[in-house]
Structure 1
Amino acid sequence: MKTIECANKQEKIIHMYKDSYRILVEEEDLSPRNETINRVLSELVSTLSKPMKQSEADEILCDEGIKQIRKDMLQKLSLAECLMEEYYAQTFRDKVQSIHDFGSFIYWDNYVELIKTEMEELKRINWDVNSFAFVGTGPLPLSPLLLKQEMGAEMTCLDLDVQAHEHGRRFIQDLDRDGTSDYILKDGALHDYKGLDLVWIASLVPNKEEIVRRVFETNPEALVAIRSVDGIHQLLYEPVDATKFQTVSCEEAGRTVADSFIINSTVFYTYKQ
């Protein structure tokens, strides 16, 4: 039987999500330069990062009011995140001598912990990585830089946005001490992944199915890692569901489990013969 405390918590989240959506619709500037956006999104992420049972999250996700606005809300949250990364890319430009100089980024600790869980899962899968690609690197390439630091592997970064490519490529060039990294302006669905051991796909990349298909067309021996979400964090990102990949033969090889601190989970796929 649901407690009054649980019901109140669910109602609070539903109300906050709807109110946040209304504000994001009304505001023209969704970047960190807008203090209203900073406040609203910080409060929303903080609230959704508190521990919650799956059954409680499912009830919220099934709320009719939430279902009506969620798709549009995810688009606005995606735009806000892109603008946030662009803002911090400009802030950090010419100010980093090592990856640790990004430590003041508001989600730095979350990135570090996420990479830690991914490395543990890679070890469990027992997958050797000498080279990898990261699709959807964005203007602030923290994930690929942290992955390279952990694995010591050759790195290829892909992004199809001109401005994101310009910012990201500069950081990669500044921090790539051994010259084994590349940053390419290209749609990941058009790249040739031959010779790569692992391909990472960022959570905000929209054409995941096309990219996964292209990976296995050009390199069926590769492992694909896709950033996803579980539970209540589906109010922030769209989860990955390989059963919806109509044109891709793949099977799950492993996955990480997110917690209240780490928003994203990661699902690993191999080619299904």
Structure 2
Amino acid sequence: MGSIQERNILVEKVCQIYDKISKLETLKPSKDVDTLFSQLVLTCIPPSSVNILTLPKDIQEIRSKLIRLCGEAEGHLEAHFSTLLATFQNPLHHLDVFPYYSNYLKLSRLEYDILSEHCSAQSWPPNRVAFVGSGPLPLTSIVLASYHLKETTFHNYDIDSLANSMASCLVAPDPDLSRRMIFHTTDIMDVTDELKTYDVIFLAALVGMDIVEKLKVVQHLAAYMTPGSILMLRSAHGARAFLYPVVEPQDLRGFEVLSVFHPDDDVINSVVISRKSPMNSNIAHKHHHHQLGINESIIPSSCKYCEFQMFNNPLNHMIEELAVDE
């Protein structure tokens, strides 16, 4: 009875916050935007037994709209800081202006370590990596290219030409990264044979705002990725599913799921790592749980960096960092 009451309280609070967010005139960084999204994240972070699939249809619809609002707000936040960074002569020397840069450093280190565990000696380090949904501030690609995969070429895909233009401006002054960071303005669903050339493909959390859209992308990747190549994507668990779509291992037809990690701290996203199966989809599907049992042990018991809160006083941090820089 207690868990049902807790679930009802949680859902009611999320709906109240959604109602306020939906009435905002803009989702660009501001005090009101920051406050509401901070409240939302703090509400959804605590471990919860809530099963999103069992919630009433009207709550499901609110969740779907809320995920899209979160995506829009994150996009505005990244665009804001990408514009700010572009004002510096060497933008990559000032990435710490972005308030969550240290989180990206930790996240990228974790993903690098996990990738190195799953790649064979023959395929490590990867020669070509694709990041789908790179956005105007492609920090994951930048950090991995700068500190971990220093010989790898990164192909960044985004459907928004303005986002790619902003991102390109950040790396243009750097002679090394400008050579190894390539930006493609296209819908990933229109990319076919090129997908066969990548050793690793990252799928951003905001590519596919609901599970139907996301799985269309995943199945497209499964159709064209080379067997043995790696797909890394993010999911959500419990109440955190109000913030991001949920991807279950059994959804990844055509891939062998290597590991899934559900954080229980202030990290928002779960992490799903899979390998394009050399087998047909049905056979690969039968092996998913077997793969999980074998490989979950390599994941740290407490992972704080798989994803991070994006709405913690960004404007205050920006002002502080600019004061230091000056």
| Normalised TM-score (structure 1) | 0.83
Residue 45 of structure 1, aligned match among 41, 59, 66: 41
Alpha-carbon spacing, 1:235–1:176, altered in 2? closer, same or farther (3 Å): farther
Query: Any conservation in 2 of the 1:114–1:264 contact (CA below 8 Å)?
Result: no
- Which runs of 4 or more aligned residues in structure 1 lie more than 6 Å from their structure 2 counterparts after TM superposition? none
How big is each residue's C-alpha offset from its partner over 1:143-192, in whole Å with a ceiling of 9 and x where there is no partner? 11122232222111111112111111212323452522211111222231
Kindly, what percent of the aligned residue pairs are identical? 23
Counterpart of 1:121 in structure 2 is: 114
**Where in structure 2 are the equivalents of 1:85-234 lying within 5 Å?**
85-95=78-88, 97=90, 99=92, 101-127=94-120, 128=124, 129-148=126-145, 149-152=147-150, 153-175=152-174, 177=176, 179-191=179-191, 192-206=194-208, 207-216=213-222, 217-234=224-241
Counterpart of 1:265 in structure 2 is: 270
**One-letter code of the match for 1:201?**
L
Alpha-carbon spacing, 1:224–1:59, altered in 2? closer, same or farther (3 Å): closer
2:206 is paired with a residue whose SS is coil
Higher relative contact order (CA closer than 8 Å, sequence separation 6+): 2
What is the deviation of 1:142? 0.7
What is the deviation of 1:224? 1.2
1:58 is paired with a residue whose SS is coil
Counterpart of 2:20 in structure 1 is: 23
Query: Any conservation in 1 of the 2:92–2:171 contact (CA below 8 Å)?
Result: no
2:135 is paired with a residue whose SS is coil
Residue 242 of structure 2, aligned match among 235, 245, 256: 235
Counterpart of 2:32 in structure 1 is: 36
Distance in 1, matches of 2:51 and 2:228, equals 40
Query: Any conservation in 2 of the 1:114–1:262 contact (CA below 8 Å)?
Result: no
5+ residue gaps, structure 1: none
Counterpart of 1:58 in structure 2 is: 50
What is the deviation of 1:134? 0.5
Distance in 2, matches of 1:151 and 1:259, equals 29
Distance in 1, matches of 2:51 and 2:272, equals 24
5+ residue gaps, structure 2: 280-326
